[in-house]
Amino acid sequence: MERIISVTDLVRHAARIAEDVETTGTIYRITRGGRGSMVLVDEDYFDGWMAALDELRRPDWQAAWAETSRDIAAGRGRSLDAVTKELGLEGSPDPTRRAPARGAARLRGAKARPGAPRTRRRAP
């Protein structure tokens, strides 16, 4: 899923948006002044794009692509299930969903105590 939000909304709802990106893979297009400014994606999605770009930087990428296309058309290759089983990854979690980060951040100071007043620190 893809959503378009302003940078103001990102600032106001950063924790909720981060959770949404991490758990559901939602892509956020962030606007500033009504124009596209940046895109927020989860790390696995980003890594996939970077890997694709690395492949396209190879001088022989077109030859490798053509060979792969011929292999697919000829029925050569193995299914994802077969490769997963061969690598001993069967039963692993769904790769489209990320696990929550380990060691969630803890509140410190006054915020950590129940009933403590919430104060805002100003930057020096």
Give 28's strand partners.
Answer: 3, 40
Instruction: Say which DSSP state 112 is in.
Output: G
Band (77; pLDDT cuts 50, 70, 90): confident
CATH of the domain at 16: 3.40.1620.10
Residues 6+ apart with CB under 8 A from 11: none
Domain-located, residue 70: yes
Domain region containing 50: 2-88
pTM across the whole model = 0.54
Domain-located, residue 61: yes
Out of 20-34, 42-56, 78-92, 94-108, pick the least confident.
Answer: 94-108
Average pLDDT of the residues in 116-123: 49
Residue with tokens 């893979």: 25
Domain-located, residue 43: yes
Domain-located, residue 111: no
**Nearest Cα residue to 87 out of 79, 97, 99, 96:** 79
Cβ-in-10-Å burial (0-12, 13-18, 19+) of 75 comes to: exposed
Total tally of structural domains belonging to the chain? 1
Sign for the CA dihedral angle at 105, 110, 113, 115 comes to negative
Domain-located, residue 99: no
Average pLDDT of the residues in 115-122: 49
Domain-located, residue 109: no
Domain-located, residue 41: yes
